[in-house]
Amino acid sequence: MGVLLFDVSGFSTFGKSLDFFDLTTKDTKEERKEESMSMQDVVIVAENVQKWYGKFQVLRGVSLTVHRGEVVVIMGPSGSGKSTFIRTFNALEEYQQGRIEIDGIVLSDDLRNIDAVRREVGMVFQQFNLFPHLTVLDNITLAPIWVRKWSKAKANEVAMQLLERVGILEQAQKYPGQLSGGQQQRVAIARALAMQPKVMLFDEPTSALDPEMVREVLETMKKLAADGMTMVVVTHEVGFAREVADRVIFMDTGVIVEEATPTNFFQNPTQERTRKFLSQIL
Amino acid sequence: MTHFWRNRKFLSIAAQLISVFTVAIVVFILWDNLTYNLELLGIGFGFDFLQSQASFDIGETLIPYNPTDSYYRALLVGLLNSLRVSIIGIILATIVGAVVGIARLSTNWLVRNLALVYVEVLRNTPLLLQLFFWYFAVFISLPKLENQISFFGLINLNNKGTQLPFGLEISSELSALILGLTLYAGAFIAEIIRGGIQSVARGQWEAARALGLKPGLIMRLVILPQALRVIIPPLTSQYLNIAKNSSLAIAVGYPDIYFVASTTFNQTGKAVEVMLLIMITYLTISLTISLTMNTLNRSFQLKER
Amino acid sequence: MNQNQIIKWLRKNLFDTWYNSILTIVCVFLLVWGAKSIFSWILFIAQWKVIAVNLQLFLVGRYPEQMYWRLWVSIFIILGLTSVTIGSLVKKIPNRWLPLAWAISFSVILWLIGGGLGLQAADSNLWNGLLLTLVMAVTSIVISFPLGVLLALGRQSKLFVVRNFCILYIEIVRGLPLIGILFIAQVMLPLVLPDDITLDRVLRGIAGLTLFSAAYLAENVRGGLQSIPRGQFEAGKAIGLNSIYIMLLIILPQALRAVIPALVGQFIGLFKDTSLLSIVGLLELTGISRSILAQPEFLNRYAEVYLFVGLLYWVFCYSMSLVSQRLEKV
């Protein structure tokens, strides 16, 4: 586990609370994206990120820019570093060289920055990682109450709205162990959304699910994208990428091999390695 | 740049330094108090006293000893006594534990429940009390030599002790200690063995029966080897407990290392030195048992792909 | 059950094979002989006066009689809380106030028994017998609990000094017999503490028990901590909680829940271990028995006294082990 016995970050004061992120779709997704593109509204900037595990270099200079409202899908064989890469965005993994900026905040050794970034980035894990000793509702309200210091009433209200949004309002008082895998993952999505993040990271969200439950989670993610959420998704789900992604990225051995729109990526891949990978999964 | 008090790396190093500093200060304060008080009481520190005359007698010894011998020899006598009790206790307790543990799984209702009563009674009363009971209520209350209780002339019990075949004589103190330790530890070992045997999947039994093996052979060739894997770690704990519980010898007057060390302290006042001797002795014994059992444990682990 | 069913049961459970039949006969023989001897001893040979005369001493020692009402109030509080706790465990309705209620009543009961702050004080030397055993066992486990958790966390720490200090402490304490630890506590504590702090014998005894118990508890909790998947920690970090919150809200609740059966077992062990304090001069249940047996009129009543006292210990320990088995099923 390796817990630093006294992590001082919790004692630092944190900044102004954010406005309630309006999730209703008044503008269309396209309109908003044009606006953000023109305003240079970037959420994630990663420049030449390099990371070593001991002597082994797992990220060899990866660069990525993600604009507000974009959906970026990353694909690649296991060991390509794609999960490691997105985990650097919320400081679950450290990096040795390069630069990462989330919503204008530089990710460095500064604990206040790390805290601030983690509040703006939501993450959904392959293994759900719900807290088994808390009810579904408590899972979702835990962070808003203890990090954003919301009142229990406000947190509960937001949590119920999110549960309705992901379609499992009636499970609010149940424990994670009583839910199916698909339901648990949807709770995990609601839990990440409760902090009103600027960007959502998905690390192979459907890989641990039985086939019949993959669809319900993908539908939830598609709705999220349609509502304008900025998303970076590591997945093997080609259908999802084709329908929803603005860009598809192929990573292999720690570098980005190819980056293109879904149409170009799947129909006219330019790199040999991409073609080989696609032939295995399509 | 980032303020140093929020820098993750800086804080990590700072925490290390602060913890070293704090521990050092606490140790220093305690050490300071200790030396001050020792000087005040005129005790000082040093192991030279081990050479001086012990001036107390020891009831039972495995090696020759008399009160004019040094403290060092007295402690050696105590150590040998401790080892004797521990080793005999470990062997006998394992036997008792195995018998009772298997009895707990017997198809015979009476046998099964008698074993259960044995386990539940002995596990839920303090060992010290049991030792007092065996020593005071049983062994020294035994009749005198003339009226001694005799089992087929082979084993004789009287108020001086136990006479076993081959001319072995055990004092009342040692008898009570060994009996108490064995029965107490035997109860715990019985449950460990029972749990281990039950942990072997039912399918193993059934496959062996289907092959036509008789229950005795199944137990010996199929179940026990696999059960031993599960049994050895908690069994190690129990062996360590037997070695540590042998220190209760002081309650029945059997001169083990703790008893001798405690007497030495009473006579010399050398608290720190005696404490260190006790610690080193028991830690060495514990370590030896742990290492031996761990080597045994490794040879029982399943070889996997 | 009619006669046929009884015969069938006998056949299946006692006489199914030839060696089982022999075993049954031998056991029955021994049981009957044993029961006859024991009952005749209990009824005719044993002199139970020693128990009847000294019952008060066994149970509460020399605790002033006029203050008995305080003990009754304490018992009442404990019984009340226990039934509420069992009720909530059985019905699976967690009650948020229960842990707080237990914590408060612990302090209240100590105040009732000991006095001070308005109530007349009862010197701790007068608390003897079962009363002292209970007070010491409960106090030790209560104090060793946070200590053990801290040790377990420290053992996982990334700080070199903290981690190794914890490992050293745990391994040394677990390698020594309790009587050695009590010796160290009784003899060494006065030497390493400054002159103006003196601890009475009961406190030193509790200190020894606590230091001993904390090391074993740390190992139990460590097992629980290691059973928590890494993903829990990551999920906590991902939603923005800092390490302390993650530990308090996510990791520890799960870890402690997992080791409750082991913890109850440890409490049973501690309860039995209080008997060792009789060797360092404290008059808890075992100690007061020896003191009673030293009186000339009760010389040689060893069997009666030790069996009675053994029964008292057994009732407490066996009940607790039943609770533990029940808890494991939950």
CB B281 within 8 A of CB B244: no
Total Cβ atoms within 10 A of residue A256? 20
Closest CA to B8 of C129, A12, A110: A110
| pLDDT tier for residue A30 given thresholds of 50, 70 and 90 | low
C159, C231, C233 member nearest A5 (Cβ): C159
Q: What is the pTM of this model?
A: 0.80
Chain A residues 10-29 within an 8 A CB cutoff of chain B: 12
Return the pLDDT at B140.
84
Put the strands of the sheet holding A97-102 in their side by side order: A56-67, A42-53, A97-102, A105-106
Name all chains with 3 or more CB-CB pairs below 8 Å to chain C.
Answer: A, B
Return the pLDDT at B2.
59
CB C272 within 8 A of CB B126: yes
Q: How far is CA C268 from CA C137, C180, C213, C313, in A?
A: 9, 20, 11, 10
CB C156 within 8 A of CB A2: yes
Return the pLDDT at A227.
93
Return the pLDDT at A216.
92
Return the pLDDT at A62.
94
Q: Which long-range contacts (CB under 8 A, 24 or more apart) does C150-155 make?
A: C151/C214, C151/C215, C151/C217, C151/C218, C152/C217, C152/C218, C152/C219, C152/C221, C152/C222, C152/C225, C153/A3, C153/A5, C153/C225, C153/C247, C154/A5, C155/C218, C155/C222
Closest CA to A168 of A100, A219, A232: A219
Return the pLDDT at A20.
30
Return the pLDDT at B286.
92
CB C274 within 8 A of CB A35: no
What value does the CA radius of gyration of chain B take, rounded to a whole number of Å? 26
Least confident window among A204-218, A230-244, B58-72, B111-125: B58-72
Which residues, listed in sequence order, are joined to residue B158 by a DSSP beta bridge?
B161
Strand, helix or coil at A256?
A: strand
ipTM over 0.95: no
**CA nearest to C30 within chain B:** B114
Chain B: give the shortest CA distance to residue C179, in Å: 7
Residue C182 in contact with partner chain B when CB distance is under 8 A:
no
pLDDT means over runs of 10, chain B (305 residues) = 74 86 89 84 79 84 85 91 95 96 89 94 95 90 80 79 83 92 96 88 81 81 82 92 95 93 88 90 93 85 63
The span from the first CA to the last CA of chain A, in angstroms, equals 39
Tokens of C130: 């079962």
Residue C231 in contact with partner chain B when CB distance is under 8 A:
no
Which residues, listed in sequence order, are joined to residue A46 by a DSSP beta bridge?
A64, A100
Chain C residues 136-165 within an 8 A CB cutoff of chain B: 158-162, 165
Residue A16, pLDDT > 60, answer: no
pLDDT in tens, A71-119: 999 999 988 999 999 999 999 999 999 999 999 899 988 888 898 999 9
Number of CB pairs, chain A paired with chain B, less than 8 A apart: 29
Burial class (CB in 10 A: 0-12, 13-18, 19+), C113: buried
Higher pLDDT, A138 or A15: A138
Residue B125 in contact with partner chain A when CB distance is under 8 A:
no
d(CA A266, CA A242): 8
d(CA B5, CA A109): 11
Q: Is C239's CB within 8 Å of A147's CB? A: yes
Closest CA to B136 of C293, A237, C151, A218: C293
Chain B: give the shortest CA distance to residue C137, in Å: 13
* C154 contact residues in A (CB cutoff 8 A): 5
CB B99 within 8 A of CB B192: no
What is the residue-averaged pLDDT of chain C?
86
Residue A33, pLDDT > 80, answer: no
Which amino acid is it at B275? M
d(CA B230, CA B199): 8
d(CA A124, CA A116): 18
Residue A6, pLDDT > 50, answer: no
Tokens of B31: 């050490």
C177, C188, C314 member nearest B125 (Cβ): C314
The span from the first CA to the last CA of chain C, in angstroms, equals 33
**CA nearest to C251 within chain A:** A131
Q: Is B125's CB within 8 Å of C303's CB? A: no
Tokens of A16: 């102004």
Residue A236, pLDDT > 60, answer: yes
Q: How far is CA B152 from CA B143, B149, B156, C114, in A?
A: 17, 10, 9, 58
* C177 contact residues in B (CB cutoff 8 A): 244-248, 258, 282
Query: CA A62: distance to chain centroid?
Result: 18
Task: Give the residue ranges of chain C where pLDDT is below 70.
Answer: 1, 90-96, 116-118, 329-330
pLDDT in tens, C209-252: 999 999 999 998 988 888 888 899 999 999 989 888 999 999 98
CB A129 within 8 A of CB C234: yes
pLDDT in tens, A147-167: 889 999 999 999 999 999 999
Q: Is A114's CB within 8 Å of B8's CB? A: yes
Residue A9 in contact with partner chain B when CB distance is under 8 A:
yes
Q: What share of chain B is helix, strand, coil (3-state, %, to 5)?
A: 75, 5, 20
